[in-house]
Amino acid sequence: MGLEYRRLGGEPQLQGGTMMRGFISSMVTVASVATMMTALPAWAATSDKAITVVLAVELDSLDPCDTQPAQNANVVRGNVFESLTHVSPVSGKIEPLLAESWKQTSDREWEFKLKKGVKFHDGTDFNAAAAAANIMRTQGGPNYAGIACLNSGQIPDPVKAEAVDDLTLKVTTSVVDPILPLRISYVDIGDLASQSKPAKVLNPVGTGPYKFVSRKQGDSVKLTRFDGYWGAAPQIKDVTYIVRKEATVRASMVETGEAQIALSIQAQDATDDDRTVTFKDNRIFVMRPMTFKEPFKDPRVRQALSYAVDRGTIVPAILGVTGAPYYQMLGPQVNAYIPDYDEKLAMKYDPAKAKELIAAAKADGHPVDTPFDIVTRPDILPDGGELVQAIAQNLKEVGLKVNIRSMENTAWREFLRQPFPAEQPPTLQMISHDNTSGDASFSFPKYITCKGINSAICNPEIDKLVAEAEVASGDKRAELYRKAAGILYQQAGFIGIAEQIRLIMLGEGVEYKANPLSGLEIKIADVRLKD
């Protein structure tokens, strides 16, 4: 019998979709491919029209195994590349995409039946061998050592993928993994046949409704409609992506007709009509203290960080409608979310308490006056620079010595990931973290476990709970993740600051219904231009 996973509970989105909480498996047959998100409305007749999309951050990779970061996914995911499965932003269910169906044949074996007649953009057939190659490559398999795929963290334990026949794929996991079909949704499929050696793809070839035309480094990326697409043809023919770092400039380009879609708009640039689209994508603005170095070795100093930040004042004052005070790492649709935490348990603004904790740590011999760097990016969120400055001022007011270091994405990422250089100063890293999967396994193993690539904390009790949750399902899985989250927050290993609300601006005559995945992927096939 096929296994399908879905998320339950939650609250309505601002636009399009329902935010889901929890994560359980239900033993039902996978839904018909007719329900896929790639299906287009009847009005979407093809045209020769083109659009320009203006982004806040330039993509740094065109490779199918680097689509986890939003700056890459916004261009290629769902447009150039597709995956075997897909998370529905409306229902939260795992839906078929390039896979027709799947079933679990034993504790560690899964069988996927693939869609027939799918072509890559170069005319070659998509088949089980291509799917297997991409799965093995994404996780850095034996033939792809040294690739360093950014999506590799979505498959934390090695799996073996192999073609049974052209349209049958077998995936064998090294551990019991009840959410494998969800993990597979993070493996985007590219045609690797043209790769003569294990290197990153520069001229991507996928199965999506748009094919790659060109990239001008630092300027633009161009796509065009793929006439051999297996699904319904999108309305828009050509797409050009350009980058403008200033939110006001992005908004202005849409106002003047230079662009038709602008991402990451600030509240002050929003229109008061339906051309400004709002949505939540479970993106939380958090602080990650480097717990391995002073002054953050003592959890009391880390707790003081939370008590010092006046979220209730600075978040609405600076972010306006694009943010709300928040105290956890993950949003309410993720199964590690702790109900009532913000109201009953959160370390809310109390500067006197912060000073008390810092003094207690100092009395026990901790060098609490050690200077540290707030590591951030200009694009971390709309008006993020001003918010970080306000946070720094709050921290200084309780006696901490703070320096702001704002850097571009590549340099910022070097501070994010292990191994941390011995000479690296103590840091408080600003992170805008999203989890649209509904399952904490896409956040916790890499962010809060001892060996997590993005982790700056090591707590054996957290590791034990996360490991137990990874092989559990349903309510038990959620319970274990919530326990791990409770320890993390009590230890102030991650400190929530604001839940983000995202804004997209549309040009005249452009229709697009945002959903919880819109922060990660804008499918041009879902965009309509009125006649």
pLDDT tens profile 2-45: 333 222 222 222 223 323 333 323 323 333 333 333 444 444 58
What is the pairing mode between strands 168-173 and 159-165?
Answer: antiparallel
The helix, strand and coil proportions of the chain, stated in percent and rounded to the nearest 5, come to: 25, 25, 45
The pLDDT of residue 29 is 34
Res 92 pLDDT > 90: no
CATH class of 4-36+46-207+502-529: alpha beta
The pLDDT of residue 18 is 29
pLDDT tens for residues 140-194? 877 787 788 999 988 988 999 999 999 999 999 999 999 999 999 999 999 998 6
pLDDT tens for residues 362-408? 999 999 999 999 999 988 877 778 999 999 999 999 999 999 999 99
pLDDT tens for residues 475-524? 999 999 999 999 999 999 999 999 999 999 999 999 999 988 898 899 99
Tokens 């191994």 belong to residue: 419
Q: How far is CA 31 from the centre of its chain?
A: 25
**Per-residue tokens: 16:** 């399009």
Q: Domain limits of the chain?
A: 4-36+46-207+502-529, 283-500
Number of alpha carbons in the 13 Å side-chain half-sphere of residue 99: 33
Q: How far is CA 377 from CA 170, 308, 410, 499, in A?
A: 42, 22, 10, 18
- Which of these, 57, 49, 392, 88, lies nearest to 233 by C-alpha position? 49
Q: CB–CB of 447/334 below 8 Å?
A: no
pLDDT tens for residues 96-138? 999 999 999 999 999 999 999 999 999 999 999 999 999 999 9
Which helix H or strand E contains 409, and what residues bound it? helix 409-416
The pLDDT of residue 19 is 31
Residues 407 and 270: their CA atoms lie apart, in Å, by: 27
CA dihedral 340, 344, 346, 348 (to 10 degrees): 130
Residues 457 and 292: their CA atoms lie apart, in Å, by: 7
pLDDT tens for residues 41-90? 444 589 999 999 999 989 999 999 999 888 999 999 999 999 999 988 87
The pLDDT of residue 194 is 67
Task: Give the pLDDT band (50/70/90) at residue 465.
Answer: very high
Number of alpha carbons in the 13 Å side-chain half-sphere of residue 317: 11
Task: Give the pLDDT band (50/70/90) at residue 197.
Answer: low
383-390 long-range Cβ contacts below 8 angstroms, 24+ apart? 383/266, 383/267, 383/318, 383/319, 383/322, 384/285, 384/430, 384/432, 386/318, 387/285, 387/314, 387/315, 387/318, 387/319, 387/497, 387/498, 388/430, 390/314, 390/318
Residues 413 and 185: their CA atoms lie apart, in Å, by: 24
The pLDDT of residue 386 is 93
Domain 283-500 sits in CATH at 3.10.105.10
Residues 98 and 131: their CA atoms lie apart, in Å, by: 9
DSSP state of 143: G
Q: Which residues contact 447 (CB under 8 A, 6 or more apart)?
A: 288, 329, 433, 454, 455, 494
Q: Is 293 exposed, middle or buried (0-12, 13-18, 19+ CB in 10 A)?
A: middle
Q: For residue 355, which phi and psi values (nearest 5 degrees)?
A: -65, -40
Whether the model clears a pTM of 0.85, i.e. scores above it, the answer is: no
pLDDT tens for residues 199-236? 899 999 999 999 999 999 988 999 999 999 999 999 99
Q: How high is the mean pLDDT of the chain?
A: 89
The pLDDT of residue 17 is 30
Q: CB–CB of 167/113 below 8 Å?
A: yes
The pLDDT of residue 281 is 83
